[in-house]
Chain A
């Protein structure tokens, strides 16, 4: 008997009175948690279940349910179940623990300790149902002053801007980490909603060139799929320095995920590992970053804004200041709750800082230095809903980027197994059988619905505050109050406590 000490996380409950032994669950589960017994009876192996709900949602008889496995470890506040299980896994494999999506640990959620203001009596609120509300946002360097020539025309051209109909973009997710259909759904939705999707570092498949005007193409340390044509088929170019889920480390897309289409898009041989080194080999300083920013500007004839994406880390404000001085048009700051297709668990759960604090400190620092107008800020990493968006903008962001929320809109159930490539919902997989489960048209409609719902809610919240343009909310921390936060936290966030 092969005893590996691990016990199931979940238990699959099958209502035998309802189950008609149709076997759809056996066919559907990529993790092989359901099987036919010797007697051709459908049975389940709970040890293989990842609790992604696909079988539950598709069971025609609604005969299935999944629960946390009742097996309990003896209570111990220090040696918790997950601490013990992680050791079992490493003792049997000798490997780095991998996980997917953002950290699930209990760190403070500052969004939930910040409350919004509303107008009462002294400053009338605005009714967005009757009155125009402006959510349109322009991202890019703004000129310090307007100069007119003798004919009263602008004498200097406006630097290139990204125009967003709602202050939300899709964060970088590569074709490779997500499926062709998931990528397509994001591209369609961005195009229709008047926002942008982001290629991640997986290149842009030629099929998606039709959405190029809504694509932010990424240049990351691996330079996969990066050439002149790629830079041109974009609205903007993003230099990815780091990401919130795994600051400071690179990434490895395993060869088994590099099928024909991924191979074409990344321009690497079929089945070869795509190794993204931790740093860019040509960036060791702010000066080097400037060199790459201007290499891209030169290659795109200064027609496109250049974004620089960093993870929120300890000295994020000083780093952001350097990035502005290096010539970036837009900075993306990715908080420690950001999701990913694959990250070492220890990195995901222990590195980086909360996006709320990062945004506030960056905005404050850039204002102090008088360079805030030179750059737009995108906040990302765990934005869950429209009130998170409003709070992020009031803390100083120009817009937010969402990825996990977008995947959930498409059907993700947060089982955190993206790194296995077996996503039953057809999102984070390259398996053609699984990929076809996601209909890009339906998925893009769900994304559009989400964006519409958020924009309605944002307008309601703005109207309540007596504000009719998102621009007036930016960095407007008077609209925020903290609850249950200490002096230091309030100071960093730059907000007063509720009641003050």
Chain B
């Protein structure tokens, strides 16, 4: 474990240090005093493990492929932007556009997340990205979603708070969302339909959530006790009939 005191350090220097130590064989890092540095973990080939104390800046692990990050704090916007593989655990809340265009890997958020989470997520062959949000999520959850899985738990949502923003699944044409609880239909975009979960869905959820719950110190049975609503697109080609051929 290599400890790096990141306070006041430019992101370029910070990433260079991680890269240099990683090439010298160090696999685990503790970054202390992180305060808004962008792109942490971007462009690092291989699969280092970073523990971040503080608040990492935008585009955390953008374009990354196999990195593992645990954040003891909150994260800002576009966590895991165009991420290919890896695992990001946020022991707090996250900003907007988490997992933008991600194609693989996992992002776990303990508390709430901002707008447009999982926008244009994709999947390809055995790469199926998963985002799990413990709290609530803002508007446009799963917008333009083309693949992958989003699970919204709403665990710390107060009675007078809403679990989900509006326009959920706008332009969705692939993948699936599982929302713990019921969703008023006005929150949903015209491209998505709802269903109750099947046995298969529940097995899959249990599988995803057991890892999440053990990391977040939650009781899996309690989390699974409340029914989930499944959201999926009506059509894999929502824009297929726009044109005059």
Q: Which residues of A line the B interface, CB within 8 A?
A: 89-90, 93-98, 222-223, 226-229, 231, 252, 254-255, 267-269, 272-273, 275, 277, 281-282, 291-292, 294-296, 298-302, 344, 419-420
Contacts and interface: CB of A to CB of B under 8 A. Distances in A.
A89 B244 CA distance: 7
A268 B127 CA distance: 10
B124 A94 contact: no
A95 B245 contact: yes
B123 A281 contact: no
B63 A231 contact: yes
Given A228-B64, A228-B84, A281 B146 contact: no
Interface residues of B, number: 48
B76 to A, nearest CB: 11
A291 B59 contact: yes
Given A273-B173, A273-B237, A277-B144, 8 more contacts: A98-B245, A222-B120, A223-B120, A254-B237, A295-B39, A298-B43, A299-B39, A344-B243
Contacts of A275: 144, 146, 171, 173, 239
A162 to B, nearest CB: 20
B87 to A, nearest CB: 16
Contacts of B243: 95-98, 344
Nearest to A95: B244
Nearest to A273: B237
Interface of B: 11-12, 15, 19, 38-39, 42-43, 45, 58-59, 62-65, 77-78, 81-82, 84, 97, 100-101, 103, 116, 119-120, 122-125, 127, 143-144, 146-147, 171, 173-174, 236-237, 239-245
Contact of A295 (B62, B125, B237, B242): B62
A298 B240 contact: no
A296 B82 CA distance: 11
B234 to A, nearest CB: 14
A66 to B, nearest CB: 22
A294 B42 CA distance: 10
A96 B242 contact: yes
Contacts of A94: 244
24 contacts: A95-B242, A97-B243, A98-B245, A222-B101, A223-B120, A223-B122, A228-B84, A252-B242, A255-B240, A268-B146, A269-B125, A275-B144, A277-B171, A281-B97, A281-B120, A281-B143, A291-B59, A295-B38, A295-B59, A296-B63, A298-B11, A298-B39, A299-B62, A344-B243
A138 to B, nearest CB: 24
